Amino acid sequence: MKRIATVCIIDDDVFFQYLAKKSLESSDKVMKILQFHDGEEAIDYFLEHKDDEQKIPDLVFLDLNMPFMDGWQFLDEFTANQFKKELITIYICTSSNSKFDQIKFGTYPQLEGYLIKPIPRKEFIDTLEKMLQN
């Protein structure tokens, strides 16, 4: 069975983190899950390991509204850097239904999708399956 090597969850909501991790684990489509509680913690990890393809995730679920560094700030730092791993797929996971956020979403070519919370388990599974098919 084909599996995604590493998936990353970047979200300050512990409840969302827990549910997302359980959904991903139960899918049996993911080998490793990284979790970060804000964009700053995540970008520090990404930059520390930017030359190590094995440590950089294949798929990222990114919240927009977080303390210290929000999702947009994370994306700005992310796009300003180059990573040895070329294909890193990012999905926005947010409770924001804002038109501004949805328009801004279109300005980041590496963003694959915009998921509105609460995200059902099936939507996580569908996202994983879509990625595995590509």
Rounded Cα distance between 110 and 79, Å, is: 9
> The tokens of 88 are what?
């890193």
71 vs 102 pLDDT, higher one: 71
- Is the model's pLDDT at 58 over the cut of 80? yes
Q: What is the pLDDT of residues 22-54, one digit of tens each?
A: 999 999 999 999 999 999 999 999 999 999 999
Q: Return the domain boundaries, the chain.
A: 4-133
List beta partners, residue 32: 6
Mean pLDDT of the chain: 95
Query: Do residues 128 and 24 touch, judged by C-beta distance below 8 A?
Result: yes
- Is the model's pLDDT at 96 over the cut of 90? no
pLDDT tier at 86, thresholds 50, 70, 90: confident
The percent of residues above 70 in pLDDT, for the chain, comes to 100
State in words which class domain 4-133 has: alpha beta
Query: Do residues 92 and 103 touch, judged by C-beta distance below 8 A?
Result: no
Q: Taking residues 74-96, report their average pLDDT.
A: 93
Query: Do residues 49 and 56 touch, judged by C-beta distance below 8 A?
Result: yes
